Amino acid sequence: MMDTRWIDGKAFAARMRAEIAAEAADLRARHGLEPGLAVVLVGDDPASRIYVRNKVQQTTEAGMRSLEHRLPAETTEAELVALVEALNRDRAVHGILVQLPLPRHIDSARILATIAPEKDVDGFHVVNAGRLAVGLDGLVPCTPLGCLLLLKAFAPPLAGARAVVVGRSNIVGKPMAQLLLRESCTVTIAHSRTRDLPEECRRADILVAAVGQPELVRGDWLKPGAIVIDVGINRVTDAEGKARIVGDVAFKEALGVAGAITPVPGGVGPMTIACLLRNTLTAARRQAGIAG
């Protein structure tokens, strides 16, 4: 039986945040520049409120400026566009993040397209997606960037590895595949219509699960020794009626088969916010014309 290594994303993210804080202090001391991140929350989705609170807290702890905009659920699309346009013009704001999901009456694509690409620290704007696709510098979506940093640290060398990404969202699956391709992996994107998903997964040296389906990927879908990155955060109620969070991978079944795996919680999730801070620092440097 394989001794499966746990990939501790929480500890890795904490080290990243400490490095970012040191860089932010240096930026302030040498250039008088304080990176500013504007976080916009519309409505009162309980999970989104927690994520936004953590983003604000960690931005401040890293020595950067946090500007929070909490808007009621009935905010109109036009009002949100006007706020984003004002933030685009504000020179003290280097990064803009609109927390997703937005209320259903607001067109998320329109809002994301309104954010100035150089301030799009989520990396969701089509300009940043296009830059990633053609190999130009841009801002890379935080969750896939976090997954890549974990893979580089825990599963080198990536070049030539067979990677399967389960999930084709614009936010995780597609950018993840682009990043792995950039590292010279042989990449497959699998999804709900993939024929024989278990067999596709069994081919993977690196498996990234990002489908949002609790424990979809079973232990016998894994190649022995595979590196498994679980992006899923699914709230479920267990047999005793207790609420808990599980990933897209059946974690206990994967132990003893995978070579290494990210737990949920404590794996990819904390990396998302650490990468948001990294992107904010990068955006501030670029806007000020400071090499980093």
Residue 11: Cβ within 10 Å count: 11
122 is catalytic: yes
Q: Build a one-symbol-per-residue string for 122-161: x at contacts with ligand LMY7XDAE by CB under 6 A, - elsewhere.
A: x-------------------xx------------------
Provide CB contacts within 8 A for 239, sequence distance 6+: none
How many alpha carbons fall within 13 Å on the CB side of residue 100?
Answer: 11
| Residue nearest ligand LMY7XDAE, Cβ-based | 269
Question: What span, in angstroms and rounded, lies between the C-alpha atoms of 283 and 36?
Answer: 10
Taking CB under 6 A as the rule, does residue 233 contact ligand LMY7XDAE?
A: yes
Q: Which is nearer to ligand LMY7XDAE, 190 or 233 (by Cβ)?
A: 233
Taking CB under 6 A as the rule, does residue 103 contact ligand LMY7XDAE?
A: no
Coil vs helix vs strand at 275: helix
Taking CB under 6 A as the rule, does residue 179 contact ligand LMY7XDAE?
A: no
* Structure tokens, 209: 């699960």
Taking CB under 6 A as the rule, does residue 280 contact ligand LMY7XDAE?
A: no
Q: Pick from 4, 99, 128, 282: which binds ligand LMY7XDAE (CB under 6 A)?
A: 99
Q: Which is nearer to ligand LMY7XDAE, 102 or 187 (by Cβ)?
A: 102
Detail the residues annotated as belonging to a binding site.
167-169, 233
Taking CB under 6 A as the rule, does residue 6 contact ligand LMY7XDAE?
A: no
Question: What span, in angstroms and rounded, lies between the C-alpha atoms of 35 and 33?
Answer: 6
213 is catalytic: no
Q: Interior CA angle at 37 toward 7 and 27, to 5°?
A: 85
Q: Which is nearer to ligand LMY7XDAE, 161 or 207 (by Cβ)?
A: 207
Report the C-alpha dihedral over residues 278, 249, 258, 173, rounded to 10 degrees.
-50
Place of tokens 């995978």: 258
Q: Answer yes or no: are the C-beta atoms of 141 and 124 closer than 8 Å.
A: yes
* Structure tokens, 138: 């841009």
Least Å distance, CB 47 to ligand LMY7XDAE, is 6
What is the chain's length? 292
99 is catalytic: yes
Least Å distance, CB 159 to ligand LMY7XDAE, is 27
Q: Answer yes or no: are the C-beta atoms of 144 and 179 closer than 8 Å.
A: yes
Question: What span, in angstroms and rounded, lies between the C-alpha atoms of 272 and 141?
Answer: 9
> 32 to 61, contacts with ligand LMY7XDAE by CB under 6 A?
47, 51
Interacting residues with ligand LMY7XDAE (CB under 6 A): 47, 51, 97-100, 122, 142-143, 233, 245, 264-266, 269-270, 272-273
The residues assigned a catalytic role are 55, 99, 122
